[in-house]
Amino acid sequence: MTAKQSTLDTGGGETVADELAESQRSISIAEFFEKNKQMLGFDSGGKALVTAVKEAVDNALDATEEAGILPDIYVSIEEAGDYYRLVVEDNGPGITKEQVPKVFGKLLYGSRFHAREQSLTPDQRILVRRDGSVEFIPIGVLCDAYLTADGGGTAPIPDDIEAPCFDRESHELTWEPVTHAIRHRTDEQTYEVTTERGRSVEVTGNHSLFGVSPTGETTELKAGELTPGDAVLTPRQLPRPAETVDSVNLLEHIHPEQLDERRIYVYGFETETLSQLRSEETVRRKPSPESDRRRTYYVHDGVEILRDSFEQNYIQKGYLPAETVRELGWEAKASDCELKTYRIGGEATTVPVTVPLNEQFLQLLGYYISEGHAGARQIGLTFGSHETELIQRTEHTIETVSGSATTVAHERNSTRVKGFGSPLALFLQNVCGDSAATKRVPGFVFEMDETRQQQFIAALYEGDGSDAYPGNELSHTTTSQTLARQLSTLWSMQGVVASSDAVENPDGYAGERGKTAYRTKVYGEDVRLADVFETDTETNSQQYKRIPTSLLDEVRVGESPTNRVPDTIPGLLLAAGVGSGLGHAAVYQSLIEDALDGEYVEKPRYVHNLIEWELLDDNHQPTATLRRLWETIQELQGLTETDMCLLEVTAVEETTPPEYVYDISVPGPNGTDENFVVVNEGPLAVKNSRGQQGIGISAAVLYSQLTSGKPARITSKTGSGQTAQQFELTIDTDSNEPDVELAEETTWERPHGTRIELEMEANMRARTQLHDYIKYTAVVNPHARLEFTEPKAHEKYERATDQLPAKTKEIRPHPHGVELGTLLKMLAATESYSLSGFMQEEFTRVGTKTATSVLDAFRDRHFGREMTWRPPSATEEADVAAEVREATSNKGAEATEAFATTIAETIRERDRIAYHEIVSVVADAADEAGETFSKTFGEAVRENAVAAAWYACTRERTANLYPIVDGATTKRKDDAAVEGLARRLAEKFADADDTRDRASYAVLEEYVGRAADMTEEHDDETFGETARENVVDAVWETMVTVPDDPPKVSAVVEDRDAAAQFLEAMRETDILSPPTDCLAPITAELVEKGLRKEYDADFYAAATRDAEVHRGDPFVVEAGIAYGGDVPAEGNAEVLRFANRVPLVYRLGACSTTGVVKRINWRNYGLDQPGGSGMPNGPAVIMIHVASTNVPFTSESKDAVANVPEIEDEIELALREAARELKSHLNEQRSLEKRRRKQNVLVDILPEMARKLSEVTGREPLNIDDSLARIMNNVLVERTVTEEAVELTVQNHGSSSAAFELTDIVSEDPGDVDDATVVEMDGEWFVKWSVDVAGGEETSITYQVSHDAAFDISIEGVETEKVTVNA
């Protein structure tokens, strides 16, 4: 608070100062501001000014554009005593007193910043991944690495550091980039929160962990408000590596200094590889200062290799000393080689450089970590003497890996297995640690696949002597805290939540007395992992697969016998006090379900209890209480099947706060899921701060108030008739409320507008950025007029167009862009009843037709399709008419016959028919027959007829399916097998519960799968994946969408599966891209105008791409290029970046636009680009604008556009489009240059030629202009002046037409001239014609003027090189 204190001392408004002094409490907005001023862009006087200008100008632009006014913005910075005064004025509609706080205090008005103070103490270990390898780093260490300055602050972290982060909607954990490191001072209380399974984290009181609400939603729980018994969300399944490793290169894990003086060699290099060492220079020098002879060395990559050794040994035998290999960095080149070492006594041992991570090797690692130690030349593992089997296995393993001999030394109580092989020993020592307390899991273990990790874990426990203890528990004890932490994390990668605890003075640890041992245990079914350990009793489901009963407190009807329940329906009922055990609860479940289905339920005792609990009413019907309970149960059911589970808080203790606390920013999978994982003992998820974000003008108001003590002064005039009003705005830093006072009424020359005046501590060090910002704003807003005054400069940026940017329209979401969570919310909120109406109402680009397509796709998913069959022909045994006749009774022969015949004939007309189609055929026939014969064909008759007809149509399912299956499988398949598959598939349809032959795609897959399995078994024919898929697809094609009404919106809201099916149907359906009038492209024309306005270049090009869509968000990319002229030629081209017409001025390097600029080969377009990639050089300005409803930024700070391939592609295309124009311009320049040079030479030669010719021929001197013009394909303008008239002849000697403006400047008044404009200026008459002469043609202009007149011709619109004026 020192900065602020000093501000107060130096004076300022007393009232404000008092208020500020009052507000020194930790929660004050002022302190928040102080802590976060770097994030807010006010961390230095220079930057503060830029930020304030930026915010004020953005505000002004918004205000004017919204009102459809061409912006006229005035920015002035002036010195005012010790401070700087910033004035920003616009000609917007002005604001009223009521609007002032909303406009200038709007962000502070809310409480968006409060969450920022949450932080962790410095030694909290966080789980991060860097270059694919997993690390546990204390948060303080990580952040300090990026925060170079002392004190509080924020610093960006490069993209390559990732942390596990869970999606609050789906509870899926993924690796997400960490964007910022944050450190600040705190006097906030800190707490250590401990959960069951022995996990803990130390955080500030307002730092959140996560929990789940009774409705299944993820909630944030402040550490300071947690109490034991609360359940916090914890990672159950940490994300696995995307790419796994299956071998390890030993050399990479041996340090060069360890190899020094140690005779380890790498054998097996190709001569070709080694020969590279000779390829560079050779030096001669003394091997050491005292040696008297100089020796020759090859130098390769700076590594010196003694030539004698190389030529006589290395290259001959194909080896190098291991030390040299490391120095050269040739570990990868050596991957197929072997490490050889010689024992004293001569026998060589060899170890491959690359060791496969197979079970044996992982066992060795596991045993070593548990029991091993490594010396310089040997690995020793100590086992209890009874562990014979383990000793043998270990010996065998060491032998297999190293091929070296092992010795077994029997001691009193133990057996030592010694394996020789120095490289292996070094490797183990390095990757696993060499003493009990430093033992750790090698990094590559975290990158292995699941099976290997499990083999490793098993070996670790085995080596530790653990077996499944009674009670189905596996326990691993170590004095290495790191190892325990890693092991717990490894378990989490297997989806197992291990339990950690620390044991002081553990028994049985001779020599380790006084130390702490860390125990990692797993229980129950988890023990069975990797098939190594057996369990001896039936295991219950794990506690962490259970949820606390407290979640059901609100709907509870009675005491629960337990405080943790499985997340099944019976379990949840139990939690609500329904039933006394899971078995009871299951009975209750079925009763409740029946009751909810509208049945009258009856079961002694149970129903009585349900009525007692008021879940059923006296009529045995569900009550509102039951419905509420049921809803909660539905939400919570299956909660732990995600990557997260719930652990109960066991203790919350206050701790002594450190001076600084830390946080990192992890935006998470959708940018708002800020959280990461702490692993002190085992993984725990914690929430994190948001990164830097745009704050708005209010921060500038606060900054000026804090630094100068003066309120912001706002002047506003809402219309020309009105008087201007001046307000003073201060922000009450205690309550965070803006305070506005009307200071006076005043006059203002502007008809309307707003003016803000801020006085602040500042300096002009960021002058360049200020000017850049204003200039870029002018480029991108060519419709705006900007004026900028600062103590040393005054710039005016005039308007280049009167065209306001097109007004953007708000659009509804596009069906391809929504997520399930959003969809559910929208479904819950809509007023539509039907899904069709919902889609058309709530989404863009959905009309009746699209809605119908989506609903068809949804029906296919929701109800399945119905199979269609070929109706039997008249001659076939299965006779529809006969069957129907048979099934119809009491309708009289005639009517029955007509009814049956109609049905049979209608069906026979069909190519294929499905059940529901038969239903409608029968209904039509019944109506018809009923009418004709005045008989009633009732429901029963119809049903019988349908059944009969369906029976007839489905008698030959096999024959029906055979051609389909045959067509979908290859010709090579055995006919009997195809027939077999068709028959079995037919049986699946026949045997299905659904007699309508209705099946979803998944069910059909299952049918085909089972039929194919059976066929493989019996008919000795294989049906591979593809064959099966083909059959499924072919059958699915013949199936038809059913006419059932899709569920109503209300039903889908309740049914997550149905909603997911609905979402899938929307995504699968082709839907027109979203409209783009919601975007605000500048347009190519205005991009060019903007550039032209601010850059005095020779050439301008611009391109606007068509709108594209990225994840449902439309976007448009524009690019512009200015080249040559006054653009500085030295150094890189200037890159201007804009997102939604706002200049991006920071983090150039992190922006994907820059990446795209760098990856284009600019040489193709005539720009200089050293090396053919990277930033182009030369006098060029490159502008990129991305407009989107949702521009993806790399972080909340919105300084850089994130790498989205679709957007990058468009940026590239836009740039290339503009660059092509540049190229043709440059080519033209080059050809003009060539022409100029040609002309220069010819202008020299031709007169000489002419002179010589006159000499030789003795004739008059020649005029050669005509010839010259003709040679240059030029336009030649010649004048003939006679008494009567002036004639201008224009000859176009080129091949293409020439159109230009020709002005004859005449010293006498020519009067009116036909086809020309005549303007008199300072006694001269400008006679101007538009001339257009086709290639090879000639034209002439005649006008009258006094023949005393003097003339001067000027031509515009054609390059001067191309014109020869002879007049």
Among 1247, 1342, 1249, CA closest to 1290: 1342
- What's the closest the beta carbon of residue 1269 comes to another protein, in angstroms? 8
Q: Which stretch binds another protein (CB under 8 A): 215-223, 686-694, 1212-1220, 1242-1250?
A: 1242-1250
Shortest distance in whole angstroms from residue 1277 CB to another protein? 14
Q: Supply the minimum distance, in Å, between the C-beta of residue 1247 and another protein.
A: 10
Task: Compute the least distance from the CB of residue 1203 to another protein, in Å.
Answer: 52
C-alpha span between 805 and 1087 (Å, rounded):
12
| Tokens (6 digits) for 37 | 């001023």
Residue 560: both structure tokens together: 């629960």
Instruction: Tell which residue, 383, 369, 477, has the closest CA to residue 429.
Output: 369
Distance of CA 649 to the CA centre of its chain: 33
Interface with another protein includes 102 (CB under 8 A)? Answer: no
- Report, in Å, the least distance between residue 1261 CB and another protein: 10
* Window of 34-42, 701-709, 1186-1194, 1238-1246 that interacts with another protein by CB under 8 A: 1238-1246
Number of Cα atoms under 13 Å in the Cβ half of residue 187: 8
- Inter-residue contact 174 to 668 (CB < 8 Å): no
515/853 Cα distance (integer angstroms):
69
Is residue 1131 classed as helix, strand or coil in its secondary structure?
Answer: coil
Q: Which of 137, 898, 1242, 1281 binds another protein (CB under 8 A)?
A: 1242
Nearer CB in complex with another protein: 882/1253: 1253
**Rounded least distance, CB 1258 to another protein, Å:** 9
**Residue 1245 binds to another protein (criterion: CB under 8 A):** yes
For residue 959, state whether it binds another protein (rule: CB under 8 A): no
Are the C-beta atoms of 566 and 546 separated by less than 8 Å? Answer: yes
Give the residue with the Cβ less far from another protein, 227 or 1257.
1257
How buried is 787 (Cβ within 10 angstroms: 0-12 exposed, 13-18 middle, 19+ buried)? middle
Cα separation, 51 vs 88, in Å, equals: 13
Name the residue among 476, 521, 654 with its Cα closest to residue 197.
Answer: 521
Convert residues 493-512 into a mask of x (bound to another protein by CB under 8 A) and - (unbound): --------------------
Choosing from 1, 874, 1241, 1285, the residue that interacts with another protein (CB under 8 A) is 1241
Of the pair 623, 1273, the CB lying nearest another protein is at 1273
Position 873 contacts another protein (CB under 8 A): no
Alpha carbon distance 784, 800 (integer Å) = 8
SS3 1204: coil
In the complex, minimum distance from the CB of residue 1354 to another protein, in angstroms, rounded to a whole number: 24
Residue from 1251, 1282, 1254, 1250 nearest 1266 by CA = 1250
Give me the least distance between CB of 1234 and another protein, in Å please.
Answer: 10
Residue 709 makes CB contacts below 8 A (sequence gap 6+) with 7, 8, 11, 12, 13, 16, 17, 20
Which one of 193-201, 930-938, 1005-1013, 1246-1254 is the stretch in contact with another protein (CB under 8 A)? 1246-1254
190 or 1291, CB closer to another protein?
1291
Q: Which amino acids are annotated as binding site, given as ranges?
A: 59, 691-698, 1198
Nearer to another protein, 271 or 1263 (CB): 1263
x-or-dash string of contact with another protein, 1253-1292, rule CB under 8 A = xxxxx-x--x-x-xx--xx---------------------
Q: From the CB of 1352, what's the least distance to another protein, in Å?
A: 24
159 token code pair: 């993209």
Bridging pattern class, strands 83-90 and 72-80:
antiparallel
The C-alpha atoms of residue 427 and residue 251 are separated, in whole angstroms, by 8
Contact present, 180 and 139 (Cβ < 8 Å): no
Binding-site member from 1238, 1311, 1320, 1335 for another protein (CB under 8 A) = 1238
Beta strands in 508-572 (DSSP E): 516-523, 546-548, 564-566
Closest approach of another protein to the CB of residue 1231, in Å: 14
Touching another protein, residues 991-1030 (CB under 8 A) = none
- Here the tokens at position 245 are 């490793």
Task: Give me the least distance between CB of 1339 and another protein, in Å please.
Answer: 16
Query: Of 786 and 1276, which has the nearer Cβ to another protein?
Result: 1276
Least spacing, CB of residue 1251 vs another protein, in Å: 9
Are 206 and 184 contacting, i.e. CB atoms less than 8 angstroms apart? no
Q: Which of 882, 1003, 1250, 1334 binds another protein (CB under 8 A)?
A: 1250
Burial class (CB in 10 A: 0-12, 13-18, 19+), 671: middle
Closest CB to another protein among residues 540, 1254 = 1254
Comparing CB distances to another protein, the nearer of 1111 and 1238 is: 1238
Among the listed ranges 421-429, 1111-1119, 1133-1141, 1251-1259, the one in contact with another protein (CB under 8 A) is: 1251-1259
**For residue 405, what are the contacts with CB-CB under 8 A and spacing of at least 6?**
349, 399, 420
Q: Which stretch binds another protein (CB under 8 A): 280-288, 495-503, 1152-1160, 1240-1248?
A: 1240-1248
Closest to another protein by CB, 174 or 1273: 1273
Which of 877, 1248, 1283, 1314 is close enough to bind another protein by CB under 8 A?
1248
CB atoms within 10 A of CB 1140: 17
Q: Which helix (H) or strand (E) holds 337?
A: none
Which range, of 68-76, 591-599, 912-920, 1236-1244, touches another protein by CB under 8 A? 1236-1244
**H helical segments located in 481-581:** 481-493, 569-575
Q: If you ran DSSP here, which 8-state letter would residue 993 be given?
A: S
> Whose Cβ is closer to another protein: residue 317's or residue 1252's?
1252
Of the listed pieces 58-66, 861-869, 1203-1211, 1247-1255, which binds another protein according to CB under 8 A? 1247-1255
Q: Which residue, 295 or 1235, has its beta carbon nearer to another protein?
A: 1235
Smallest separation, CB 1273 to another protein (Å): 9
> Can residue 1361 be called a binding residue for another protein (CB under 8 A)?
no
User: Minimal distance in Å, beta carbon 1291 to another protein?
Assistant: 9
Of residues 768 and 1240, the one with the C-beta less far from another protein: 1240
Q: Is 1252 in the site for another protein (CB under 8 A)?
A: yes
Does position 772 interact with another protein (CB under 8 A)? The reply is: no
Residue closer to another protein (CB basis): 438 or 1254: 1254
Annotated binding site for ATP: 59, 691-698, 1198
Both tokens of residue 1338? 């000639």
User: Distance (Å, rounded) from C-alpha 366 to C-alpha 371?
Assistant: 9
d(CA 117, CA 815): 38
Closer residue to another protein in complex, CB, 623/1239: 1239
Examine residue 1295 and tell whether it contacts another protein (CB under 8 A).
no
CB of 1310 within 8 A of CB of 1325? yes
Which CB atom, from 69 or from 1250, has the smaller least distance to another protein? 1250
CA distance 248 to 828: 53
Written as one string, the DSSP assignment of 513-525 is TTSEEEEEEEEGG
Residue that is written with structure tokens 């004076």 in the block: 11
For residue 1313, what are the contacts with CB-CB under 8 A and spacing of at least 6?
A: 1327, 1343
Question: Least distance from C-beta 282 to another protein, angstroms?
Answer: 42
Number of residues that bind another protein (CB under 8 A): 22
Residue 546 CA to its chain's centroid (Å): 32
* Short-list 206, 192, 191, 201, CA closest to 235: 201
Contact residues for another protein (CB under 8 A)? 1238, 1241-1242, 1244-1246, 1248-1250, 1252-1257, 1259, 1262, 1264, 1266-1267, 1270-1271
